[in-house]
Structure 1
Amino acid sequence: MRALRILLIVVVILGGLFVAVDRAAVYFAESEAASKIKSSQGLTGEPSVSIKGFPFLTQVAGSSLDEIEVSVGGITATTEGREVEVTEVKATLRDVEVNSSFSSAVARSADGSALISYADLTKSAPKGATVGYAGPERAAKGQVKVSGPLNDLVEGAGIEVPDAFKGMLTDDFTAYSTVSLEAGDKVRLRAEDLPELPVPGVQDKLKEVVDYDLTIDGMPSTIKLDKVTATEDGLRFSGTGTDVDLAS
């Protein structure tokens, strides 16, 4: 019995040491991977990398990692000189083949996602306009709500209106814009159901202002976005990829 107890104690101690060494190896690998992704993708900030699965060392021995989660910060979107933040940029990489120095890593499949909040969308909108959730029915159609004081929108857009007609622009303006995604990085907002305006010619000019594009800058090449969804929190983008090379 005494020998069995000693054996059990040794096993527990060795098991604890193995776990400690395994976790230390994971921490080192995550740090190296984050540095490599930052340099290879030209990111301004270092991403957060989390390697899943246990034990890690046996995965390394097989040169294949089950899953890696990458969170990226410092991504922006711009339109006509205005810049807004892209939040919650994430990628989940699966079946990642690596070499011993972690200088090469290829994921057989990947899922990417990003979010631009309505508060940040408003910063990119025409002067005087607010972008918000359009409700479940219109959101299902990929639409967002664009609204604001009509006079502020007209003035902010630099649309000339004769003094005699300015008193007719006191109402609030509300339109619904359909959102689409082009080439994986360009967000397009196109107004639908524009309200009838009392001043001739203003409606067409205002539509030209309300319709605008937003280009997402600095997205890592590992994230290929091809779908956009209007949610209660903002515009959520998603995409998938195969044979994603993290080192290029």
Structure 2
Amino acid sequence: MRTLLWTLVVLALLAVGADRAADWWAEREVATRLAASQDLGSTPDVDIAGFPFLTQALAREFGEVSATAEDVVVRSGDGELRLARLRVTFTDVTTDRDVSRFAAGRGRAVTTISYGELGRLTGLDVTYVGEGRVRGSREVTVAGQDFDPGVTVRPRLTEGAVRFVDAAAEGSLPPAVTAVVQAAFDVDLPVDGLPYDVRPESLSATTSGLRLVLVGRDLSYAG
């Protein structure tokens, strides 16, 4: 009886080990193919949810797969938007036998545009001031006099781009002074060309940056 018990334990451990090894291989394979098909600067960290893995693999159907990429660059025209991290969660996933094709019924991505990145793009010192508004400031010299004007704006998602609206100048500085800062916010940040064919759904200003949620349906990638 003891011998049979130990045999069953060993077989169970081998089965679990084989399952985890197959899961590891599949995650690496999906990550490599997504990096190539989505033109990512680095290989994403892929996690295939659910256990056991092998039963899902045999059916070639997976309930949930997530991919997290670091240092994602979105190029548009002559400019680029840098995202420190982009995480996408796929549901209702199917693949072919060698994982060369990856399809998902739905994808939901979350990323944050940092205030440091907004500062790089606008030339301003950008901070969050609450109630969905952000503040930009910079030193301005007008008629030989130095000023440090501040302007608050509200980020808005419009036609696949982040825009800044409802500008309000702080204090009672001359319009020519605050206009310099306000003009710096007159930029569009295209977010309609992010990887994975996901499209912007919502935008919110938070203490850590502009949180962007994107979604896509009936997605398919070939690596």
For the criterion TM > 0.5, the same-fold answer is yes
Match of 1:35, as an amino acid?
Answer: T
Higher mean C-alpha displacement, 210-219 vs 113-122? 210-219
The Cα RMSD (Å) is 2.5
Q: CA 1:240–1:215 in structure 2 vs 1: closer, same or farther (change >3 Å)?
A: closer
Task: Please state whether the residue corresponding to 1:246 is helix, strand or coil.
Answer: strand
Q: CA 1:79–1:98 in structure 2 vs 1: closer, same or farther (change >3 Å)?
A: closer
Higher mean C-alpha displacement, 172-181 vs 62-71? 172-181
> In the alignment, which of 127, 137, 140 is matched to residue 150 of structure 1?
140
Counterparts of 1:1-248 in structure 2, within 5 Å, are: 4-76=1-73, 83=80, 85-126=82-123, 129-135=124-130, 138-139=131-132, 143-151=133-141, 161=142, 163=143, 166-167=144-145, 170-184=146-160, 186-190=161-165, 192-195=167-170, 196-198=172-174, 201=176, 203-204=178-179, 206-216=181-191, 219-247=194-222
Q: CA 1:57–1:9 in structure 2 vs 1: closer, same or farther (change >3 Å)?
A: same
Q: Is the 8 A contact 1:222 1:246 kept in 2?
A: no
Match of 1:75, as an amino acid?
Answer: V
- Distance, in Å, in 2 between the alignment partners of 1:117 and 1:44 is 19
1:140-198 CA-partner distances (Å, limit 9, x unpaired): xxx211123333xxxxxxxxx5x4xx33xx342111112122444x3222351124532
Structure number, greater radius of gyration: 1
Cα deviation for residue 92 of structure 1 reads 0.7
Unaligned 5+ segments in structure 1 are 152-160
Cα deviation for residue 99 of structure 1 reads 1.5
Cα deviation for residue 79 of structure 1 reads 8.4
Cα deviation for residue 225 of structure 1 reads 2.2
Cα deviation for residue 202 of structure 1 reads 5.1
Q: CA 1:119–1:109 in structure 2 vs 1: closer, same or farther (change >3 Å)?
A: same
- Distance, in Å, in 1 between the alignment partners of 2:202 and 2:192 is 17
- Distance, in Å, in 2 between the alignment partners of 1:57 and 1:11 is 19
- Distance, in Å, in 2 between the alignment partners of 1:37 and 1:77 is 16
Cα deviation for residue 41 of structure 1 reads 1.3
Task: Please state whether the residue corresponding to 2:195 is helix, strand or coil.
Answer: coil
